[in-house]
Structure formats: C-alpha cells, structure tokens
A and B are shown apart, each in its own frame.
Chain A
C-alpha cells in the first residue's frame, strides 16, 4: 500500500514562532499533495493543494502568507505555519495523490499543533 508520513507528530510552540510540518510519500512519487486541518469534533477542511515545482493553490479563506507551502520534490511537501497564534492550534493532516484506483489520496497520520 501507499505510505505517507508526517513529521513531527506533535509540536508545542510559543505564540509568534514559526512551525514547519513535513509530509512525505514513502513508496511512491506524488506531484500533488493536499493539506487539511481539523478542529476538535469537526470535519477535515482542505487548506491547500501543493503542486511539485509550482505554487500551491489555496482554498478560499486560507491565508497563503500565513501557511507557507513548499513542494520541492516528488516525495516531500512542507507546511510552515508562520507567526503562530493560539487559534492556529489544530490537527494538520496531509495527503498524497496517486492516480491508481478510486482511493487516490493517501493520508498521513497527522500533526497536532499546540500554540501557547
């Protein structure tokens, strides 16, 4: 099966600092990755689509200068939460797109961010 990892799994940071989250597809190449966030007891909300070698596409209402996405290789996308604030505390999940079968998006295990 397709494996996607995320690092770190949990991070606690002070307000005003920046945090980088990595998403890696371990056994396949992904030209497209997706970043989601999930608040407690709520749905997964798509934040942005990360495209290898080009700019990310952000969903409406997501600040691109706040959530910097870099997809520098076919197996790695990073999400940097800049100048984090307590309201950015959430569960961030990435997925990697693979055009094989109906599943197509393979999810990472998620990263819990807590901003103090």
Chain B
C-alpha cells in the first residue's frame, strides 16, 4: 500500500531552467512533508520540508508547495544546476515515521 507516490521516475532539465518534481499522497494524517536528495550508495540528504498547515516554504533555490485538498506537493528548483543531478525522494511523516515515494531521477543538462 503505497501512501506516497512519485509518478515521474525521471526528469531532464537544462541548466538554468526550473525543475519541478511532483508527489502525491493518500494519508490525510501526515503532519510534515520532506524532500530528500540522494546519490547512489549514500544516505538521503534533507533538502526542505513543509508543515501540513502551510502551503509554501522557500529556502534559497528550493521551494515546496503543498495542496492539501489535492493531497499533492511539488518541489521547485530554480535555477537548476549540474550539481542538482541526483535522485529526489518525497517523504511524508506520520506518527514520527517516514513514508517515501519511489524517487525521481533528475538530470541537469549543461
């Protein structure tokens, strides 16, 4: 039972343009949503989070938007840089546990 879904397995974007990653969830009891960046054979690195009572959170080049009615969130990265190439995981927190999406592989083209 996948409670967090990332339906796009991959995304290719040109350097300097915007990357938009999407995530859907089913459990309305999640209280926080987080985005992680991950390289192969490494642990996830926290990027940004948003509380379920907010609809937007911004940190530098990263902005997360939350649409609770649609149970949807997105991560915007602008401008995209070559170093952003990695796998991005959406996660939702409920009862202190994290449920992860399947990840989206982002490739930033020079």
Contact = CB atoms under 8 A, between A and B. Distances in A.
B65 interface: no
Contact of B100 (A6, A44, A97): A44
Contact of A112 (B34, B41, B93): B41
Interface residues of B, number: 23
Q: Is the interface of B mostly helix, strand, loop or mixed?
A: strand
Interface residues on A, range: 20 to 34
A43 B102 contact: yes
B49 A102 contact: yes
Nearest to B46: A103
A106 B49 CA distance: 14
Nearest to A9: B41
B96 A104 contact: yes
B46 A46 contact: no
A28 interface: no
